[in-house]
Amino acid sequence: MTRRPARRPAKRPTAKPPPPRAPGAGRLGRVRRWLLRGVLGAGALMVLAIVVFAVVPVPRGPYMIAESWRLGGIRRDWEPMARISPDLARSVVAAEDANFCLHWGFDMRAIRRALDENSGRGASTISQQVVKNVFLWQGRSWPRKALEAVLTPLVEAVWTKRRILEVYLNVAEFGKGVFGAEAAAQHYFGISAAKLSPTQAARLAAILPDPKGRDAAKPSAFVRERAAAIMDGAATIKADGRAGCFEA
């Protein structure tokens, strides 16, 4: 009986050595991973801050901190909405964002109008201004605008309209080193924000676009005229229901 020759074990393919890495490739990968983790971490902190600030007083934002360093201090006293004159709330909405109760953070009609007129006039809503003043920096850079576009819907989803306006009234700049309704009322009129008259409230709202160049206590003819128009607008939004989302 013939014996079959024993089979030789098949040769295993020799593993090819990995291609040589380009100089610095490993370091670049680590940098990218750290950058990605940093971005994700910053995003998570931002979302957490939005949730927390829905119920607690908002601390100073980047612009307030910068102004405090520049001026050696600022005036700002946080007051809840219940201790701020309803006339000021309506006046600010009438002056800055008459459709505040009707949009979800962006007033598309105002944006289209600004683009059509090509006047350079901004169309930022109160919600956008809150996001900028609380979480971001000043200026018109595209990165800031992009972050604002992402964060504004989140704030609108988590905060009530009344809360958004409350925060705005406590962080808005009303003069050199003067932030918030209470500090503004004390600075210009020597009274609390709760005691502002309709005329005083309208004058404060009239200086908001240029708080360092206008004076609510010694108003120019332009500020007086603007304040009168704001008083009419405040009465209108109260009558037609556009103040309903923030009035108790």
Q: Is residue 161 part of a domain?
A: yes
Closest CA to 81 of 203, 189, 163, 174: 163
Residues contacting residue 169 through CB under 8 Å, at least 6 positions apart: 79, 81, 84, 88, 89, 92, 180, 181, 193
Residues 220-244 pLDDT 10s: 999 999 999 999 999 999 999 999 9
Q: Is residue 178 part of a domain?
A: yes
75 DSSP β-pair partners: 178
Task: Kindly list the distances between the CA atom of residue 56 and the CA atoms of 59, 82, 167, 179, in Å, as whole numbers in the listed order.
Answer: 9, 15, 10, 18
Q: What's the whole-number mean pLDDT along residues 172-178?
A: 96
Boundaries of domain holding 135: 58-239
Q: Is residue 36 part of a domain?
A: no
Under 8 Å between Cβ of 98 and 242: yes
CA distance 213 to 220: 10
Question: What is the CATH number for 63?
Answer: 1.10.3810.10
Q: Is residue 184 part of a domain?
A: yes
User: Which residue type occupies 109?
Assistant: R
Q: Is residue 114 part of a domain?
A: yes
Residues 115-160 pLDDT 10s: 666 544 467 899 999 999 999 988 888 888 999 999 999 999 999 9
Query: What is the pLDDT of the chain when averaged over all its residues?
Result: 88
Q: Is residue 47 part of a domain?
A: no
Q: How confident is the model at residue 191 (pLDDT cuts 50, 70, 90)?
A: very high
pTM passes above 0.75: yes
